Structure 1
Amino acid sequence: MGSPEATSPSKPSLLHPLITLDATVSHFLHVLFKPILPTFLLLLLEYSADFRFSFPVSLSLFLASSSLSSLSVPLILGLLLDLALIGLIKLTFRRARPHYNPNMSAVVHADSFSFPSGHASRVLFLASLFHLILQNDDGIVSDLIQRWIKFEPGFVLLGIWVWAIVTATSRVLLGRHFLFDVLAGAFVGVLEGIVAFRFLRF
């Protein structure tokens, strides 16, 4: 009679080839782009998408004007939803971060884990929410953009999407996450943007 390992492969062993492929591709991308892209640029993208930066900004929008509530309220609630959901998923899967991850110090316990990427979910949430709000705008947000930034709203939206995609990609290139972490985080972020737009606007 064979051993249990031989007769009934465990679930982790079924995922092992996929996880190995993910780690191999992620490491290849990290090594490939490390000499090309300046680390300070990747770190700047990291800081720009940090919760400790994005949440105070969204709170400031809410306090600045009640007319911006259609943007600021789903933004604030969505960021809190993202923080809780990503933390819960990380603590459930507990995937270790890349071993070549340089100088990464966790702020909270969940940040010790890699799957999914919180930065990727956050930036894709922001881009998705802003896209939906601008697409269904009553004029307030568009007027605000043209008055404060002096750019067409469409250009600002394009800039936000580019920032979101580049920032999410930078997580792999910086060695903070594996590729599948980023893809999963991006998927969660888009869903959060839809949920925040549909159900968290008051």
Structure 2
Amino acid sequence: MGSAEAATKSPPLLRHLLALDASLSYALHAFFKPFLPAFFLLLLEYSADFRFSFPVSLAIVLASPSRLPLLLPFLLSLLLDLALIGLVKLIFRRARPHYNPNMSAVVHADNFSFPSGHASRVLLLATLMHLVFKSEDGLVPNFVDQWIRADSALLGIWVWAVLTATSRVLLGRHFLLDVLAGAFVGVLEGVFSFHFLRF
């Protein structure tokens, strides 16, 4: 799916869908680029980068082992997400948008676009936090309830997740279908993590 040769061998319906996706994604990128501050979009990008989120989460766990029941599902799900998204990218090998010359891949799988790892990570976090805050299991410590209203915190997390996922298209890092697929995977991972990665 990534190379021109693979695209010509694809079924006609898939070729048309990918062409429409590329056109729509470029139109969104070109339309919003003059209006949106690049530093804000890059800030969203860095806030959801695995190289930032995993070490920060791990440091919090090591500094305060009492938070382990709350953060362990998140840490494990981040690793699951990294492996799953990397595998899917290597299978589909969809090239990233050509109008994004500044994209520098960190690992080989990051040369590919489908699905968006940032979108999967932020929707994974938003889904997992939503389930944790709404659960009756007492996972959220009392001091969090006292200092942060759960509904306000959840609204902030969801807004951040949606903005970050959207920024992937606006920055020209991904096509729209990449982001939608990544978001779908992230929600499934969040549900899976909440139900099966808690000990």
* TM-score (norm. length: structure 1): 0.90
Instruction: Give the length in aligned residue pairs.
Output: 192
What letter is aligned with 2:118?
H
Could you tell me the percent identity over the aligned residues? 68
Q: Report the Cα offset of residue 141 of structure 1.
A: 1.8
Alignment of 1:183 with 2:171, yes or no, is no
Aligned residue for 1:3? none
Q: Report the Cα offset of residue 137 of structure 1.
A: 4.5
Aligned residue for 2:80? 81
- After the TM superposition, which of the residue ranges 10-19 and 23-32 deviates more from structure 2? 10-19
- SS of equivalent residue, structure 2 residue 140: helix
Q: Report the Cα offset of residue 60 of structure 1.
A: 2.0
What letter is aligned with 1:57?
V
Alignment of 1:145 with 2:130, yes or no, is no
Pairwise CA RMSD? 1.5
Choose 1 or 2 for highest CA Rg.
1
Deviations 1:30-69 (A, max 9, x none): 0000000000100000000000111012212322333322
Aligned residue for 2:5? none
Aligned residue for 2:50? 51
Is the 1:68–1:140 contact (alpha carbons within 8 Å) kept by the matching residues of 2? no
Alignment of 1:194 with 2:191, yes or no, is yes
Is the 1:68–1:141 contact (alpha carbons within 8 Å) kept by the matching residues of 2? no
Is the 2:132–2:139 contact (alpha carbons within 8 Å) kept by the matching residues of 1? no
Q: Report the Cα offset of residue 71 of structure 1.
A: 1.6
Alignment of 1:110 with 2:106, yes or no, is no
Aligned residue for 1:162? 159
Is the 1:134–1:142 contact (alpha carbons within 8 Å) kept by the matching residues of 2? no
Deviations 1:100-119 (A, max 9, x none): 01411000000000000000
Alignment of 1:22 with 2:41, yes or no, is no
Aligned residue for 2:61? 62
Deviations 1:134-154 (A, max 9, x none): 11154452524245xx33121
What letter is aligned with 1:95?
R
* TM-score (norm. length: structure 2): 0.91
Measured in 2, the distance between the counterparts of 1:65 and 1:137 equals: 23
Stretches of structure 2 that go unaligned for 5 or more consecutive residues are 1-7
Measured in 2, the distance between the counterparts of 1:64 and 1:154 equals: 27
- After the TM superposition, which of the residue ranges 77-86 and 64-73 deviates more from structure 2? 64-73
Stretches of structure 1 that go unaligned for 5 or more consecutive residues are 1-8
